[in-house]
Chain A
Amino acid sequence: MAFKPSDKRKYVSEEAELNLLPILNMIVVLIPLLLTSSEWVRLGLLETRLPPAAAGGGGGMATEQEQPLPKLSLLVAVDQEGVAVSVFGATSTTTEPGRYKYFPRNPTGELDFAGVNQELLRIRREIVKPSIKGKEQAFDAAGNLRYNSDGSPIMVDAYGFDDAETVIISAPNELPFQQLVSLLDATRRWKDPNSNEIEKLFPTPMMGKIN
Chain B
Amino acid sequence: MAAPTNMRKLSARSAKEENIPLASMMDIFTNMLLFLIMSYSATGLLVNQVDQLELPQSNIDTSPRSTVSIVVDSGQLSGTPGVYAEDKGKRVQLLDEGSTLLAVASGAAAQDPAAMTLPGLQQYLRGVAVELRVREQQLGIPFDGQITIQADAAVDYNSILKVLKTCGDEQFAMTQFVVIKSE
Q: Report the separation of the CA atoms of residues A176 and B152 in the bound assembly, to the nearest whole angstrom.
A: 9
Q: Report the separation of the CA atoms of residues A208 and B145 in the bound assembly, to the nearest whole angstrom.
A: 20
A175:B175 contact, CB within 8 angstroms: no
- Interface positions of A from 39 to 76, Cβ below 8 Å from B: 39, 41-50, 54-60
B65 CB contacts on chain A under 8 angstroms? 45
B56 to chain A, nearest CB (A): 4
A47:B62 contact, CB within 8 angstroms: yes
Q: A45-B179, A181-B58 are in contact. List 18 more A-B contacts (CB 8 A).
A: A27-B33, A34-B36, A34-B37, A38-B39, A39-B45, A42-B181, A45-B60, A45-B148, A48-B176, A50-B167, A56-B173, A58-B144, A58-B174, A59-B174, A175-B157, A181-B179, A184-B58, A188-B60
Write the chain A residue with the least CB distance to B150: A43
Which B residues fall within an 8 A CB radius of A?
19, 22, 25-26, 29-30, 32-33, 36-37, 39-41, 45, 47, 49, 55-65, 74, 104, 110-111, 143-146, 148, 151-158, 160-161, 164-165, 167-181
B56 CB contacts on chain A under 8 angstroms? 177-178, 180-182
A48:B171 contact, CB within 8 angstroms: no
A209 CB contacts on chain B under 8 angstroms? 157-158, 161
Mostly, the A contact residues are mixed
Q: Report the separation of the CA atoms of residues A87 and B79 in the bound assembly, to the nearest whole angstrom.
A: 41
